[in-house]
């Protein structure tokens, strides 16, 4: 869940450095992060960028999970997906992609995560308009794939790999894209 918040507007490599820093300080638990002063948290997550904003967002999320679920992911996981998603979206700094990442990756809920790679790939292959909203792109996948967390996780991982290796923002490698033959 920490990673879902830290990965906003940064690479996963930077997030990993921040999480490793939290682990080195033996603070990677809801209770320890909850009690940690926001300024200290910001220093620990500096490599994730926008560290003051992200520290505030993490603290808001921690307030939420303690207040609503006594810091228990198991309690969170018992809540119906749409109700939990709605609640997550009320937390300061948690938007659709972050909420869905928490649901899919941390709670193993069958929710498809849409990111910039997803939109770019669909647009370049003329499968969807590049101006589609998050929910419209998500619905495309949710409607056409079996609702299965492992499947959604794998699809998203493959989309990220394709986006990083071929469907680059600048200088895409369209001529050798593995999707060309589909």
pLDDT in 10s for each residue of the chain, 182 residues: 999 999 999 989 999 999 999 999 999 999 999 999 999 999 999 999 999 999 999 999 999 999 999 999 999 999 999 999 999 999 999 999 999 999 999 999 999 999 999 999 999 998 888 788 999 999 999 999 999 999 999 999 999 999 999 999 999 999 999 999 88
| Segments making up each domain of the chain, as ranges | 2-106, 116-176
Angle 120-12-112 (CA atoms, 0-180°, nearest 5)?
50
| Among the four given CATH numbers 1.10.340.30, 3.40.50.150, 3.40.1210.10, 3.20.20.60, the one describing domain 2-106 | 1.10.340.30
Q: List the end-to-end C-alpha distance of the chain, in Å, as a whole number.
A: 35
The region that residue 161 occupies, defined by phi over 0 for left and psi between -120 and 50 for alpha, beta otherwise, is alpha
């Amino acid at each position: 869940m920490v990673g879902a918040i830290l990965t906003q507007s940064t690479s996963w490599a930077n997030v990993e450095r921040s999480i490793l820093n939290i682990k080195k300080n033996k603070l990677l638990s809801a209770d320890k992060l909850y009690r940690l002063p926001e300024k200290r948290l910001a220093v620990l997550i500096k490599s994730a960028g926008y560290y003051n904003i992200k520290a505030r967002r993490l603290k808001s999320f921690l307030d939420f999970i303690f207040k609503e679920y006594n810091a228990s992911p198991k309690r969170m996981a018992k809540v119906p997906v749409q109700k939990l998603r709605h609640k997550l979206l009320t937390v300061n700094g948690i938007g659709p992609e972050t909420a869905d990442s928490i649901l899919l990756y941390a709670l193993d809920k069958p929710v498809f995560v849409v990111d910039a790679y997803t939109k770019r790939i669909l647009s370049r292959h003329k499968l969807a308009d590049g101006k589609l909203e998050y929910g419209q792109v998500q619905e495309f996948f949710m409607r056409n794939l079996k609702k299965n967390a492992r499947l959604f996780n794998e699809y998203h991982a493959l989309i990220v790999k394709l986006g990083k290796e071929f469907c680059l923002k600048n200088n895409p490698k369209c001529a050798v894209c593995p999707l060309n033959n589909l």
